[in-house]
Amino acid sequence: MKSLNDLKIQLYADGADKAGILDLYAKPYIKGLTTNPSLMKKAGIRDYEAFAKEILQTVTAKPISFEVFTDDFTDMKRQALKITAFAKNVYTKIPITNSRGESSLPLIKELAKQGVKLNITAILTLRQVAGVAEALDPKVPSLVSVFAGRIADTGADPVPLMRACGALLQGHDRRSSTGPARARSSTSSRPRRAAAPSSRSLTTSSPRRPSSSAWISPSSRSTRSRCSPRTRPTAASPSDRPTSSFTCRADSCKFEGSPSKLCPLGFAC
């Protein structure tokens, strides 16, 4: 029987309970950690910076993400620059939009240019992933977090979207990783699945646990993806599916030449 060490994906732990975080950090199969202000509030943490720095006294050898907690982009930038200075293994979590629905892409691009390692979170569409891929700096490691579980909660199958996002990011050839994230139902730290941050990563999260088939691995991105982008889709596309030209890897594709049908990956060949 296969063990956790045999997985082709990497597990990240998500939570704000110090004991839980440090316990999971010590597990060899946990490759990274993440938290957010909501979990910290639930855990009764009153000093964000003190908590983060206390955790970082032990968590030194694995990536860990801390999130900004403001809607104002000027203040978000100030917080991001402060968070990234906590330690070299810190990734700064930036939501794809603020609570007013305003895009964070200009700030993401600015921070990436300054060498800030980012975890772009709360992503729900392929169009958003395309915009993030354009904004990130290819020289800076990053994480792209797609909320596949929340997409599943609407009744839509998130697996095709996850495969499409993985193929899109792979086509951009950047140092970001893709994989799905677990929901946070308590203040304890729980494992979540994601790809390595050194190779562009797509993560997903939801209020309920998504089907195990929603998790995407490096092997599924490289061998199971049917299409690969020849030209980059843009965030300005009116559709969440790429509208650029694509080359299908399969010898034959029943969707090719049939614009009325959608590719399982969400591509328009």
Q: What are the angstrom distances between the C-alpha of 191 and each of 27, 83, 106, 149, 209?
A: 11, 23, 31, 15, 11
The answer to whether the beta carbons of residues 151 and 126 sit under 8 Å apart is no
- Closest by alpha carbon to 173, among 204, 133, 146? 133
Question: Quick check: is 93 catalytic?
Answer: yes
Q: Which residues contact 251 (CB under 8 A, 6 or more apart)?
A: none
- For residue 257, give the DSSP letter: T
**How far apart are alpha carbons 262 and 229 in whole angstroms?**
16
| Greatest CA separation for the chain | 58
3-state DSSP call for residue 165? Answer: helix
Q: Please say whether the dihedral angle defined by the alpha carbons of residues 71, 202, 240 and 171, taken in this order, is positive or negative.
A: positive
Quick count: other Cβ atoms within 10 Å of Cβ 107? 20
- Closest by alpha carbon to 128, among 167, 97, 87, 84? 97
Please pick, among 93, 109, 117, 139, the residue that the annotation labels catalytic: 93
3-state DSSP call for residue 134? Answer: helix
Displacement of CA 220 from its chain's centroid (Å): 16
Active-site residue list: 93
